[in-house]
Structure 1
Amino acid sequence: MIDWLFTATFTVGGSEPILWREVIGNGFGLASALGGMRRKVWAWPVGIVGNVLLFTVFLGSWFGDAGRPDMLGQAGRQVMFIAVSVYGWMRWRETRRQDLEVRADGKVPSSGGQGVHPQWATWWQRILLVAAMAVGTLALTPLFRALGSYEPVWADAWIFMGSLLATYGMARGWVEFWLIWVAVDVVGVPLLWSAGYYATALMYVFYGAFTLVGFFVWWRVHRREQAALA
């Protein structure tokens, strides 16, 4: 089974072989995004499984796949995802636990014990997010280039920083984190397609539309919870 996972491929219309584990890894990522939109705690561990699979995809030369260039930024962000996902997993579990504690009147909060309550970031937090995106991209570009990352290297650095900030924003429950994913997808699609990662590039196209839906879903949930508090 493990051998199949690392070697199985398929083609579409005479294209270059596509790894099944790339598709499966993105499938776990999509399931995690769906769980995140629904504010389910299981979104985090499901996402971690996808991160592990995609790590092996983007460092293909380490796992016997020399047909495509290694994407160091993409591989590195999978490691980052795992670390930040552990933080988000713990944070959402604690929120859910507090939400489901039975109050003195014996009632359970109307949220149903979801993992997070969406909220807008403050203007100061938004400024820090934009600054971190710009400074992080500039700082990581020469590092990724020195390590031999795929050109244009700034795009790889942009995707890495955007993914880091979006995952952190999801853990904090900021509605804006969905828009950061849109910015990642806009750069990620042409980069991954040019590098031959067709399955992931196509998945990014779908993610772009999905993240916009997620943004409005969280916005609506935030408005509903604020109205209930009022």
Structure 2
Amino acid sequence: MAESAAGIITFVVQFVQAMGWPERISTLTGLVYIVLSVRQNPLCWPFGIVSVGIWMVVVFLGQLYMDAFLQFVYVVLGFYGWYQWLRGGQDRTPLPVRSVDRKLWTRLGLIGIGTTIPLGLLSQYVLHASFPWWDTVTTVVSLIAQYLLAKKYLENWLLWIAADVAYIFIYQAKGWPGYGVLMAVYTIMAGVGFVQWLRSMRAGQAVA
């Protein structure tokens, strides 16, 4: 048992040492962000803003331009979500958890398709980005998920699971193992978030 614990500690230390300082700070604040967001704590947003702000610079230098653009939008949506969670409900009250209706799904689907094609072509033929279409699809899906998260729609977690799984492979291929692991943790936490938010939504409906 002691040898196993020592092996795990050694692995973690070596793993962290292989990361640059920007990646370490962004990973740590990102983990705090996802834990607080699952718990519906509005303080998740400032941690998320710091995390994605640092990562925006890292991925831009790595030529993942759509991902860099995504992180910039995350910063903007971070302030938007912070306000929404605190004052976005009826009579400026905190938002409750709710579900996406068919009309909104249709609108988001059309927006997703309409933006993926031109952005993918731009990424591939103009920006010459790494993994242009994967980068574009995950960017569009993540933007929609972030909007749904800011508005406290339950289904945001399902979109995050899909995007985070794709990012695991992208970041590993780019040689950013810290972010690959972070995306794996995000995938697990997204599943936990879905369950926790579903319970919260049902509890609110029961009270109503």
Q: TM-score, normalised to structure 2's length?
A: 0.85
Equivalent residues in 2 for 1:1-230, closer than 5 Å: 12=14, 17-60=18-61, 69-95=62-88, 98-99=92-93, 115-145=94-124, 146-151=126-131, 153-229=132-208
* Distance in structure 2 (CA, Å) of the matches to 1:21 and 1:119: 35
RMSD (Å) for aligned C-alpha atoms: 2.2
Select between 129-138 and 46-55 the one with higher mean Cα deviation: 129-138
Q: Is the 8 A contact 1:23 1:200 kept in 2?
A: no
Corresponding letter in the other structure for 1:90: Y
Corresponding letter in the other structure for 2:128: G
* Distance in structure 2 (CA, Å) of the matches to 1:25 and 1:117: 29
Larger radius of gyration: 1
Higher helix share: 2
Following superposition, the deviation at residue 213 of structure 1 comes to: 0.8
**For each residue in 1:141-176, what CA deviation from the matched residue of structure 2 results, as whole angstroms up to 9, or x when unmatched?**
11112112102x111011211121111101111100
State the match for 1:109 in structure 2: none
Corresponding letter in the other structure for 2:107: L
Corresponding letter in the other structure for 1:180: L
Gaps of 5+ in 1: 1-9, 61-68, 100-114
Structure 1 runs of 4+ with >4 Å offset: 95-99
SS at match of 1:59: helix
Q: Is the 8 A contact 2:38 2:189 kept in 1?
A: no
* Distance in structure 1 (CA, Å) of the matches to 2:112 and 2:63: 23
Q: Is the 8 A contact 2:30 2:47 kept in 1?
A: yes
**For each residue in 1:95-131, what CA deviation from the matched residue of structure 2 results, as whole angstroms up to 9, or x when unmatched?**
48944xxxxxxxxxxxxxxx43100011111122233
SS at match of 2:63: coil
Gaps of 5+ in 2: 1-11
Corresponding letter in the other structure for 2:73: M
Following superposition, the deviation at residue 70 of structure 1 comes to: 2.2
Following superposition, the deviation at residue 17 of structure 1 comes to: 4.2
Q: Is the 8 A contact 2:87 2:95 kept in 1?
A: no
**Percent of matched pairs sharing the same residue:** 24
SS at match of 2:29: helix
SS at match of 2:41: coil
Corresponding letter in the other structure for 1:36: S
CA separation of 1:74 and 1:16: change in aligned 2, threshold 3 A:
farther
Q: TM-score, normalised to structure 1's length?
A: 0.78
What is the total number of aligned residue pairs between the two structures?
195
